[in-house]
Structure 1
Amino acid sequence: MEPFERRSLYWVLAILVIVIAPFIVLLTPAVVSVIVFDDPNKIAFISFGKSLLMYSIAFFIAFCALLILYFVKNLIKKIYIIIISLISFFAIYSTGLSHYVYLNENYIEYNPLFGSKVIYSWSELSDARHIYPDGESVADEHFIFTFSDGYAFRFKATGSLDTAAKSRIYTKLQLYSIPFIGIS
């Protein structure tokens, strides 16, 4: 391959990244839910919008690295750019993967974007709120869980939280006599 043909390969790869990235970004939460969190006791796996943003940033880094590689001629600099961009890509992508709420019949697992993962049993839940959108505000439907140690987190009632999953949540709340408030 001649140097010009090899350099044009970077443009082709950059365009390929731009074309494929949206599909990968949108399918990643579903794939993670099916592969990693597929369990008979699973109530729901909720991925956050910030995760999609992190995946997009990772692919943007890959795109920029390919464009920079087109202009760089020094082999040592190219290797350095490839290593840095691969490390950055995987670090940012894995950060997006680790931001979720997993509701299981036995426990609740929350992994914030930055911070450590917490796992609570349903009996440790002290308060649950279900906020419904009221036609006038732009707020989305979401839940707020507060635990006995004061820790609380909020998550949207996304498409992965269907009627059956909400029913299982309500059943768990009733089973453990957890105060539940529905607000519209």
Structure 2
Amino acid sequence: MDPFEKRSIYWVMAILVLVIAPFIVLMTPAVLSVVVFEDPNKIAFISFGKNLIMYLLAFFIAFISLLILYFVKKLMTKLFVLILSILGFLIIYITGLNHYVYLDENYIEYNPLFGSEVIYQWSDLSSVRHIHPDGEKVEYESYIFTFTDGYSFNFKATGAVDSTVKSKIYEKLQLYKVPFEIY
């Protein structure tokens, strides 16, 4: 195999990344929900839209690094670019994986994009706001959970938050007598 044929494999791999990446990006939240967070006590696993951006960014790094590897001729430089791109891909992809809300029958787990994971009991909730704008698109519907220590986070009520999940949230709020407001 001549050097040009060896180098052209980078173009083929770059095109494969472009073709396969959208499917992996769109399937990752569903696979994560089913494989990692499948539990009999699971109410919902909510992935954020920012996660998809992080996954796309990781695959963009892979694509660009393959293009760079095509033009680089020195072995040491190729190894350096390869190691940096693999580390960059893994760090960004895993950061995207770690941004979620998990509602369980016993607890609420929130892992922000940048920051540390927090786990609260349902009894730790001090108030919940359900923002459901009239006449607006469903994509603007969201929940804001506020806890007794003042910590709060919000998430959109689309995708994984269907009517069953909403009713389970409402049941938990009634059980623990948590103030619930609808806006």
TM superposition score normalised by structure 1: 0.97
Q: 2:26 corresponds to which residue? A: 26
Give the CA deviation at 1:159: 1.3
Question: Given the alignment of the two structures, is residue 148 of structure 1 paired with residue 148 of structure 2, yes or no?
Answer: yes
Letter in 1 for 2:127: D
Q: 2:77 corresponds to which residue? A: 77
Q: 2:2 corresponds to which residue? A: 2
Deviates most, 131-140 or 65-74: 131-140
Unaligned runs of 5+ in 2: none
Distance 1:7 1:17 in 2: 16
**Maintained 8 Å contact 1:43/1:168:** yes
Letter in 2 for 1:26: L
**Maintained 8 Å contact 1:107/1:121:** yes
Could you say if the C-alpha distance between residues 138 and 36 of structure 1 is closer, same or farther in structure 2, counting changes exceeding 3 Å? closer
Q: 2:125 corresponds to which residue? A: 125
Secondary structure of 1:31's aligned partner: helix
Query: Following superposition of structure 1 onto structure 2, how do residues 1-184 of structure 1 map, counting pairs within 5 Å?
Result: 1-135=1-135, 140-183=140-183
Percent identity of paired positions between Structure 1 and Structure 2: 69
RMSD between superposed Cα atoms in Å:
1.2
**Maintained 8 Å contact 1:100/1:110:** yes
Letter in 2 for 1:169: I
Secondary structure of 2:114's aligned partner: coil
Distance 2:59 2:126 in 1: 40
Letter in 2 for 1:39: D
Distance 1:73 1:26 in 2: 35
Secondary structure of 1:110's aligned partner: strand
Could you say if the C-alpha distance between residues 41 and 137 of structure 1 is closer, same or farther in structure 2, counting changes exceeding 3 Å? closer
Unaligned runs of 5+ in 1: none
Matched residue pairs, number?
183
Distance 1:80 1:7 in 2: 17
Give the CA deviation at 1:139: 6.4
Deviates most, 137-146 or 123-132: 137-146
Give the CA deviation at 1:135: 2.0
Letter in 2 for 1:151: Y
Letter in 1 for 2:181: I
Letter in 1 for 2:41: N
Secondary structure of 2:73's aligned partner: coil
**Maintained 8 Å contact 2:139/2:158:** no
Distance 1:138 1:73 in 2: 52
Moved over 3 A (4+): 136-139
Give the CA deviation at 1:158: 1.6
